[in-house]
Amino acid sequence: MRVLTWNLWYEFGPWESRQSAIRRVIEREDPDVICLQEVFCTRTSTSTYSFAERLANELGHHSVTSDGPWFPRREPTVAGEETAMGNAIISRWPIESHGQITLPGKDDDAGYRKAVHARIATPWGSWPIVSTHLNHRFDESAVRLRQVDALADLIVELRGDSATDLPVVVGGDFNAVPDSDEIRRLTGRTTTRHANLVLSDVWEQCGDGTGHTWRSDNRYQTDANWPNRRLDYVFVSWPRPKPMGHPRRAWLTGVEPEDVDGSSVQPSDHAAVVVDLRTE
């Protein structure tokens, strides 16, 4: 099963042409499951739009996008138009059920970051998928620690019997490097939230090179404070029934600009991570 995770950079930069570049990359990689972050969404009194839903429809796939929080658009095209920066899951196969949780914010207050989850009717059974996006500030490791604990709680609920059921696959922008406290807590390098639950970092297991998804060679990173970091991950829950979910290959995409109507367009400020997972 091929899984792609990608932060789409909301509607920043040359958004209209970036949409075409994003779709081109996704079509070329042909993933079965897509986890998206910073998905551009709008709503009015009569309609709601999600770029993920549009993309899924164009691909003939299925999708779910997290709700809000919604805020007024700076330059609304219609009166009362609001926007949101959502997380989404797109699937080649039908989505059996879905939901979302709100991740903790600062000082244990309810935050605005979400984790959207879905059960997908794959040929190998009902497969639980999570897409999420954690707080971004350099000094918010403590917040991200609370957020990964909330994710661990969710994964425990979703995975069923770890000895027989399909593992949970998590894709997202974690805004944390691999040796950070929050990633180490997820991957079992320090005390975990739950006994009998660790997340395998697919890139660490079978990716080549640094895997930097926040990159100095990205034209949108000219003034980045700290480029060249691996912030985006695909994780698979462990223990799991061998060999289901074992990683076979991992690579980056969306690194190079795409030609859109004769112009060179960088799809996003992040590179995407693509992984192949074993299904037998």
Q: Which residues contact 228 (CB under 8 A, 6 or more apart)?
A: 210, 212, 214, 215, 216
- pLDDT at 230 exceeding the cut of 70: yes
Domains present along the chain, CATH in parentheses: 2-277 (3.60.10.10)
Threshold 0.85, pTM exceeds: yes
The pLDDT of residue 233 is 99
Q: What is the pLDDT of residue 106?
A: 85
Give 136-177 pLDDT, tens digit per residue: 999 999 999 999 999 999 999 999 999 999 999 999 999 999
Q: Distances in Å between the alpha carbon of 69 and those of 30, 55, 114, 146, 177?
A: 31, 21, 9, 20, 27
CA angle 33, 186, 70 (to 5 degrees): 60
Residues 73-101 pLDDT 10s: 888 888 899 999 999 999 999 999 999 99
Quote the tokens at residue 107.
């000082």
* Residue among 66, 78, 58, 59 nearest 39 (CA): 66
Cβ atoms of 101 and 141 within 8 Å: the answer is no
Token readout for 61 is 């796939």
Q: Is the pLDDT confidence value at 108 over 70?
A: no
Q: Please tell me whether residue 178 adopts helix, strand or coil conformation.
A: coil
- Whole-Å CA distances, 158 to 9, 127, 184, 200, 243: 28, 9, 21, 16, 19
Is residue 103 within 8 A of residue 87, CB to CB? The reply is no
What pLDDT score does 73 carry? 87
Any idea which of 73-77, 123-127, 189-193, 262-266 has the lowest mean pLDDT? 73-77
Question: Encoding tokens for residue 170?
Answer: 């998590």
DSSP 3-state assignment of 57?
A: helix
User: What residues contact residue 82 under an 8 Å CB cut-off, 6+ apart?
Assistant: 42, 43, 44, 70, 71, 72, 73
> For the chain, where are the E strands, in sequence order?
2-7, 33-43, 48-50, 62-65, 71-72, 82-91, 95-104, 110-122, 125-133, 169-173, 198-201, 232-238, 247-253, 258-260, 263-265, 272-277
Q: What percent of the chain has pLDDT over 70?
A: 99
